[in-house]
Amino acid sequence: MCGIVGYVGTKNAAPVLLGGLEKLEYRGYDSAGIAVINDGKLNVVRRKGRVSELFSAKELKGNSGIGHTRWATHGAPSESNAHPHVYKNIAVVHNGIIENEFELKEECRARGEAFASETDSEVIAHLISFYYEGNLLSAVQSATRRLKGSYALAVLCEEFHGIVCARKASPLVVGIGQGEVFAASDISAIAAAGVDVYALEDGEFALLTDTVHFFDCNLTQIRKEKIEYDAEEETPDKKGYRHFMRKEMAEIPEVLKKSVYDFTVEAYREFYGVLKDTGQIQIIACGTAYHSGLCAKYAIESLCRVPVEVCIASEYRYLNPIVRAHTLVIAVSQSGETADTLAAAELAKSKGAYLAAVTNVAYSSLTRIADCVLPTNAGREVAVAATKSFNAQIVLLYSLASALAQAKGRQGCLTEITALLEKVKCAEEACEEVRGWVPHFLGARSVFFLGRGADYASSLEGSLKLKEITYLPSEGYAAGELKHGTLALVDSSTPVVAVITQRACADKTMNAVHEVYARGAKVFLITCFEEYCTRKEVSASVLIPACKEEFSPVLSVLPLQALAYYVSIARGNNPDKPRNLAKSVTVE
């Protein structure tokens, strides 16, 4: 969960590296560093904190270098644990986790070598140095054969003009421009007009000098297909908004229009045939994507009567899951690089499942292993806390539910989904009312979100958003479960947010509202039923448009996202870059 950037060219490398790291800071911002070679000598600057702490390093001279922005796994955020790690004449930046770190370090210490950090990554520099005999590419290959775990590497050597890159289970791309070449964790760091970009696959290497050569695991030179990308889209701009998160929330109406699919059209004819035979669905995902799966489960089971199991990917991959014949597995990941989701998806495929990938990145690792790719078309999402990508995921999955219903001889619902999109703007306008709720959350000891059915899925996502960017302890609960233990935690310092959009269980959820009100909690309501807004138990409410109940999370989550955003700002946080978190979770 770190950002890597590398450069070889005619320009001074340091400013290029710093610019790339700024674009990758969403991947980690505990510490950062760069290494540049000038006159055969490594010059390294590392700092604790964000990339801005490195700006003094822009004066470093040299035309080749590597940079890194870190999200800590092994070792606390500190200057000594920051990358690049250097041993003798070798500098390394690493994204991933080395699982046999202890054994390798013991081997190095037995040779009399000492370590300067607490990281697992430093041992890679020691191994490459040990194997280096004048051929850096060969030394990196020998070192990586000793590594267990995941890695994306960019390596410098004082005796070599260029960079060697390697990849296993962690993303890495290489770019070729006019008289310059690049390496990065993703396209955003190197996207520019005229730069051709190529993705490394597991076990592959790249040699960056005046041009780029690609190699397989045996160092046999190979050819690669370049990735098609939109340079403007990969270079995000706040467009006048204070934060990327707010900009991305404003983009939701337009994004949703791009995420509605008709799976009966020719482009998806094969997938529609798979839906006809599907007898069971398993959705595997993590975090926000997991919540989109829960929303889909409610809609698919209600509309199609096909059983759906939603699995946390980190659990699925270790549970020896049961995958029966005609099981459709849907892997959901915004980045398409989520390590647990990738591992779970590969496991499902090995058991014979048909794998569909729902992702926002067309060139991701997940798309390369899927039988069918369902892109959300949300555009680049920079803020760590997912907003528009979540709404895009659920609308796409609702489209899938409509197609599945038709495939099973039931009534489709694309018309209702399209009509829903027209109501999003009204819901967005109502969201501004949550600004008035903010003072009640600033001194909260904890916050609870309540709902039933689809509203429960929305409550889980609302709770996660609040935790991510405000750092307030928060939980989402099925409303009926409140009295089975959790009610003991409710008092006057515990705001409760209730979501009610389903008529059949509205009064049942209101029973939970009565219970928390009786214990002194202030209740904040999100509903499409106006009559509940004036109840004495409700301190404040947001009235959203009514829609088909199965699809209500598209609307009900909007004020929940806005609440988290405004509380985050009021608490003095940067909602785009919450502490301890990274956008793309590429480690287990």
Q: How far apart are CA 261 and CA 314, in angstroms?
A: 29
Helical packing angle, 287-304 and 388-407, nearest 10° = 30
Residue 516, strand partner residues: none
**Residue 75 pLDDT level (bands cut at 50, 70, 90):** confident
Residue tagged 């895009």 (tokens): 392
CB 498 within 8 A of CB 508: no
Burial class (CB in 10 A: 0-12, 13-18, 19+), 527: buried
Q: What dotted CATH number matches 3-222?
A: 3.60.20.10
- Going by C-alpha positions, the residue among 380, 377, 378, 383 that lies closest to residue 242 is 383
Tokens of 75: 């070792």
Over 70: is that where the pLDDT of 232 sits?
no
Q: How far apart are CA 209 and CA 212, in angstroms?
A: 6
Q: Do domains 237-412 and 425-576 have the same CATH topology?
A: yes
**Residue 73 pLDDT level (bands cut at 50, 70, 90):** confident
Over 80: is that where the pLDDT of 309 sits?
yes
The HSE-up count of residue 223 (CA atoms within 13 Å, CB side) is 1
**Residue 397 pLDDT level (bands cut at 50, 70, 90):** very high
Residue tagged 């397989």 (tokens): 216
SS3 labels along 434-458: HHHHHHHHHCCCCEEEEECCHHHHH
The average pLDDT across 466-475 equals 96
The pLDDT score that the predictor gives to residue 489 is 83
The average pLDDT across 566-570 equals 97
Phi, psi values for residue 258, rounded to 5°: -80, -10
Which residue type sits at 539? S
Over 80: is that where the pLDDT of 275 sits?
yes
Nearest 10 degrees: CA dihedral of 254, 290, 305, 423? -20
Active-site choice (168, 465, 522, 583): 583
Active-site choice (2, 165, 413, 528): 2
Over 80: is that where the pLDDT of 29 sits?
no
In the residue annotation, 2 being an active-site residue is answered as yes
The pLDDT score that the predictor gives to residue 71 is 76
Length of the chain: 588
Q: How far apart are CA 155 and CA 501, in angstroms?
A: 54
Tokens of 34: 């760069």
The secondary structure element, H or E, covering residue 561 is helix 553-570
The average pLDDT across 133-139 equals 97
**Domain parsing of the chain, residue ranges:** 3-222, 237-412, 425-576
CB 260 within 8 A of CB 399: yes
Question: 502 to each of 79, 346, 390, 517, how far by Cα in Å?
Answer: 52, 37, 21, 21
The pLDDT score that the predictor gives to residue 209 is 96
In the residue annotation, 528 being an active-site residue is answered as no
The pLDDT score that the predictor gives to residue 193 is 62
The average pLDDT across 194-210 equals 93
Q: What is the mean pLDDT of the chain?
A: 92
CA 268 from centre of chain: 26
The average pLDDT across 48-63 equals 88
The highest-confidence range among 159-163, 292-296, 361-365, 513-517, by mean pLDDT, is: 292-296
**Residue 588 pLDDT level (bands cut at 50, 70, 90):** low
CATH superfamily of 425-576: Glucose-6-phosphate isomerase like protein; domain 1 (3.40.50.10490)
Percent of the chain past pLDDT 90, that is, above it, reads: 76
The pLDDT score that the predictor gives to residue 581 is 81
pTM of the model: 0.86
Domain 237-412, second-level architecture: 3-Layer(aba) Sandwich (3.40)
